[in-house]
């Protein structure tokens, strides 16, 4: 009888020990699965990050390739006085060429496209008058109250004193912002610097829809520059810039002369030669899911190009 009891007791202990061992094994398996799952997830994440970095770098290099092609196009200009803007808003560098370049291309698995703009066909932020700036803002969808704030603030930003205009701003306004900074009290160094001025927003600068306040903003930033001597090339300036410069009637007359090729000399205080050109080039990876945009401004002197501005991450 005693032996039976001992054997029964040993069996119970054995079952208990086996149960504990089984639970431990299950927990170890669960932990290992969790570790393997986390490791697998981390590896997938690392692979995706590496692939995205690689494709982003490829897109960047494609954008740079577009920049170089645009530079070559600018350098081949035979007669700078014949450059003009066509009806579609594209800059024509060689009117005598039978076919204008597409300004886009495929390279390897990716592609790129670029736009060339004449900076001399824009209003100079450092010399434009109050009336000229107000005209641009009002005609790109900004209401009159906001336009007055922006224009007065631009004047305060570029002057050298600490006295603000009626709707403008100086240090007392900018230093009270959540991320404070000082008023420039000097000339603009880039068009994007306008985003720091009181009243300006990315929507007003870059655009957020159609023309007119009800449909959003057309985007005023593309009509301003900080390059050149302040004189505007009337052969390449957009209609709105010509209107701000000389009024609607004179602007329409210039546009008609451009269409017929009769505009060969300066008029309304403008010029017909340009030195500064901006290039915005965007590179795309194979499926177009990743892109990089690069912007540069170059100055053409004789047969050389000097880079005066470079932005690796342009909008």
Q: At 201, which CATH number? A: 1.10.40.60
Mean pLDDT, residues 36-40: 73
Per-residue confidence (pLDDT) for residue 15, from 0 to 100: 56
- Asked whether the beta carbons of 157 and 199 are under 8 A apart, the reply is no
The angle that helices 239-246 and 248-260 make with each other, rounded to 10 degrees, is 130
Highest mean pLDDT among 14-18, 35-39, 79-83, 236-240: 236-240
Asked whether residue 202 is domain-assigned, the answer is: yes
Instruction: Give the whole-angstrom CA distance, residue 29 versus residue 2.
Output: 40
Is the confidence at residue 168, as pLDDT, over 60?
Answer: yes
If pLDDT is split at 50, 70 and 90, which confidence band does 214 have?
low
Mean pLDDT, residues 59-77: 94
List, in sequence order, the alpha helices (H) in the chain: 2-75, 130-138, 144-158, 171-174, 202-206, 239-246, 248-260
Asked whether residue 280 is domain-assigned, the answer is: no
Instruction: Give the whole-angstrom CA distance, residue 162 versus residue 227.
Output: 25
If pLDDT is split at 50, 70 and 90, which confidence band does 4 have?
very low
The mean pLDDT of the chain is: 86
Is the confidence at residue 292, as pLDDT, over 70?
Answer: yes
Is the confidence at residue 106, as pLDDT, over 80?
Answer: yes
Other CB atoms within a 10 A radius of the CB of residue 99 amount to 5
In the chain, the number of structural domains is 1
Query: 30-34, 235-239, 249-253 — which is least confidently predicted?
Result: 30-34
Per-residue confidence (pLDDT) for residue 52, from 0 to 100: 63
Q: Which of 125, 96, 103, 88 is nearest to 239 (CA)?
A: 88
Give the CA-trace dihedral at 205, 210, 215, 217, to 10 degrees.
Answer: 10
Asked whether residue 162 is domain-assigned, the answer is: yes
How far is the CA of 35 from the CAs of 23, 30, 47, in angstroms?
18, 9, 18
Asked whether residue 175 is domain-assigned, the answer is: yes
Is the confidence at residue 161, as pLDDT, over 70?
Answer: yes
Query: 177-186, 195-204, 228-237 — which is least confidently predicted?
Result: 228-237
Asked whether residue 227 is domain-assigned, the answer is: yes
Pick 9 or 297 by higher pLDDT: 297
pTM of the model: 0.79
What is the domain extent for residue 133? 123-231
Is the confidence at residue 43, as pLDDT, over 80?
Answer: no
Is the confidence at residue 6, as pLDDT, over 60?
Answer: no
Mean pLDDT, residues 186-201: 95
Asked whether residue 196 is domain-assigned, the answer is: yes
Mean pLDDT, residues 151-166: 94
Is the confidence at residue 105, as pLDDT, over 70?
Answer: yes
Pick 118 or 79 by higher pLDDT: 118
Asked whether residue 282 is domain-assigned, the answer is: no
Per-residue confidence (pLDDT) for residue 35, from 0 to 100: 81
Asked whether residue 173 is domain-assigned, the answer is: yes
Per-residue confidence (pLDDT) for residue 30, from 0 to 100: 80
Per-residue confidence (pLDDT) for residue 97, from 0 to 100: 77
Q: Is 300 exposed, middle or buried (0-12, 13-18, 19+ CB in 10 A)?
A: middle
Question: Residues 74-101: pLDDT tens digits?
Answer: 998 888 888 888 888 889 898 877 778 8
Q: Which two tokens stand for residue 231?
A: 């004189």
């Amino acid at each position: 009888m005693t032996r039976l009891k001992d054997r029964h007791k040993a069996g119970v202990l054995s079952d208990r020990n086996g149960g504990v061992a089984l639970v431990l094994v299950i927990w170890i398996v669960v932990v290992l699965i969790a570790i393997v799952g986390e490791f697998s997830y981390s590896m997938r994440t690392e692979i995706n990050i590496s692939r995205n970095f690689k494709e982003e770098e490829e897109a960047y290099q494609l954008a740079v390739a577009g920049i170089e092609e645009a530079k070559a196009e600018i350098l081949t200009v035979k007669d700078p006085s014949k450059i003009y803007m066509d009806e579609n808003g594209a800059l024509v560098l060689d009117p005598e060429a039978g076919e204008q370049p597409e300004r886009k291309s495929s390279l390897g698995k990716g592609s790129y496209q670029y736009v060339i703009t004449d900076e001399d066909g824009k209003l100079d932020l450092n010399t434009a008058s109050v009336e000229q700036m107000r005209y641009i803002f009002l005609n790109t969808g900004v209401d009159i109250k906001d336009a007055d704030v922006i224009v007065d603030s631009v004047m305060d930003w570029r002057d050298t004193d600490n006295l603000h205009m009626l709707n403008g701003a100086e240090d007392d306004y900018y230093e009270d912002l959540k991320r404070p900074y000082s008023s420039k009290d000097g000339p603009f160094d880039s068009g994007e610097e306008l985003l720091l001025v009181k009243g300006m927003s990315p929507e007003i600068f870059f655009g957020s829809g159609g023309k007119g306040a009800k449909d959003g903003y057309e985007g005023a930033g593309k009509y301003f520059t900080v390059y050149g001597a302040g004189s505007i090339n009337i052969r390449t300036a957009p209609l709105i810039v010509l209107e701000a410069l000389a009024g609607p009637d004179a602007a329409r007359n210039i546009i008609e002369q451009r269409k017929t090729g009769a505009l060969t000399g300066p008029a309304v205080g403008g010029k017909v030669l340009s030195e500064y050109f901006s290039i915005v080039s965007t590179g795309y990876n194979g499926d177009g899911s990743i892109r990089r945009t690069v912007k540069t401004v170059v100055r053409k002197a004789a047969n050389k190009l000097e880079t005066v501005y470079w932005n690796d991450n342009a909008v």
